A and B are shown apart, each in its own frame.
Chain A
Amino acid sequence: MGMTVIEGVGSYLPTYRITAQEIGEAWDGFRARGIQEKRVPGADEDAVTMAVAACKDALADASVGRNSLTTLSVGTTTPPREEGDIGTTIAEILGLENDIEVSVHTQSTRAGTRALLAAVRADGPALAVAADCPQGDPDDAIDHGAGAGAVAVVTGDSGPTVRQTATYTREFPGTRFRQRGSESVETYDATAYEREAYTTTINGALELLDDVPAALAPTAPDGSLPGRVGRSADVDSVHHLASELGDTGAASPLFGLLAAWDAGEETVAVLGYGAGSSVDAIVIEGALDVDWARPATDISYPEYLRKRGHVLSNGGDH
């Protein structure tokens, strides 16, 4: 594998924000661990619109022009259509060339690192984006923690390098899934089993690496689980943004990378965990300047229910 270089990075967060306290007051307790607040997509947002916004931000950060891109890879667990290529929609909105190779990765929160790997393996400048807005049933920890956001990466000529990649796979059925036709993410809800799936597969991926970096950026379904990886892998520096963004699904390990760079880390293992379970480990050496802060408007829990479609007769547009 040649040395792929990450030349630019961008991100997007929806404007609307709700606090754990606001949700907790509606349900006599907030059921997701380690999350203080999260962002909520507007009724006119979805994985496509968030991906577009992050891609524009990343292209503005890179010297690679959109016309020289050879590949667009998209990762999301929440494509707004079950069939019908959302990658082409994103490419068209961005005005990319018609000969670009487009791929969409989904079905697992590992989709974000799958998209990044597709860009890393591309022959020429590539654009990878992870955009996600998971939902659960309103009374469960998954929905309480479910956030939204997108991170995009442009590969090019100068910047941090991808030093090594590895993937580890072992089946743990039922750890996180969404049934066909359903909007709600579910789990079998056996906490010890889910923790075992998470730490076993992440440690399996780390063992495939020549060296385990001093900093990890794992998928963060909540603000608590990532800490277990740090303890089991004996790494002090575990970065994620779940406490302020909630569960950003496929985008969460890339938000973790931004947090690691912001903290001054030099070498980071991005660990895309997908329940079921598989882990992509992508070791990145070097850093870029990052800024994921976006203006926010706080909303109430009733406003949250309306924006998410929980109380609309047809379930909302998405």
Chain B
Amino acid sequence: MGAYLSVPAWWRNLDGRYRLVVGECQECGGYTFPAEGACVECNAIDALTPTEPEGTGTVVAQTIIESGAPPEFTTLLDAEGAIGVVLVELDEGVRVPGMLTDCDPHDIGRGDRVTAVVRRIYEQEGITRYGTKFRPD
């Protein structure tokens, strides 16, 4: 079973999916991703201004899916052999989750530098979901 996400729900956060738009807190200067709700740093409400980060950052946590991927990812798993999933701390200080691309995920670990790129995340019901992945520098 996959974690089904409807297209309207996906669409509501396209800026975050396509360009990692984060919320910059007007109270404390901290960043929140996605850019909605309260500031994760100071809990301020309605204080987030959408900002585009540079898209560069450092891997802080990583895992590898080699089998048993959700059904929407089985084609990618067949084609690429393994899927790297990472938590990246962007240079602006905010942490965002994502998949690795253009690499053998076994070669990537904590502390490695990565850059955001836009790729096909998966295809479901005939609709391609594009979004950000991370490529090692």
Interface residues of A, Cβ cutoff 8 Å to B: 15-16, 42-46, 48-49, 52-53, 80-81, 89, 92-93, 95, 297, 306-307, 309, 312-314, 316-318
CB contacts (< 8 Å) of B118 on chain A: these are 49, 52-53, 93
Judged by DSSP, the binding face of B is: mixed
B27 interface residue (CB < 8 Å to A)? no
Residue of A nearest to B80 (CB): A43
Q: Which of B10-30 contact A (CB under 8 A)?
A: 14-15, 18-19
Q: Chain A: which residue is nearest B132 at the CB level?
A: A93
Chain B interface residue count: which class? Answer: 20 to 34
Given contacts A15-B102, A49-B119, A53-B117, are A44 and B76 in contact (CB under 8 A)? Answer: yes
| Inter-chain contact A312/B75, CB cutoff 8 Å | yes
* B121 interface residue (CB < 8 Å to A): yes
B18 touches A92 (CB 8 A): yes
Residues of A within 8 A of B19 (CB): 93, 95
A299 nearest CB across to chain B (Å): 11
- Give chain B nearest CB distance to A219 CB in angstroms: 27
B-chain residues with CB within 8 Å of residue A16 when the two chains form the complex: 102
Select which of A48, A89, A297, A306 is within 8 A of B79 by beta carbon.
Answer: A306
Residues of A contacting B101 in the complex (Cβ-Cβ under 8 angstroms): 42, 44
Please pick, from B18, B76, B117, B135, the residue contacting A317 in the complex, using a CB distance under 8 A.
Answer: B76
Interface residues of B (CB under 8 A from A): 14-15, 18-19, 52, 75-76, 78-81, 101-102, 117-123, 128, 130, 133, 135
Q: Which of B81, B130, B133, B135 contacts A89 (CB 8 A)?
A: B130
B120 (CB) vs chain A CBs: closest residue: A44
Q: If the complex has contacts A49-B130, A92-B14, A317-B120, are A43 and B76 also in contact, measured as CB distance less than 8 A?
A: yes
Residues of A within 8 A of B80 (CB): 42-44, 306-307
The residue from B14, B15, B18, B79 contacting A316, defined by CB atoms under 8 A apart = B79
Please indicate which of the listed interface residues B52, B79, B117 has the most CB atoms of chain A within 10 Å of its own CB.
Answer: B79
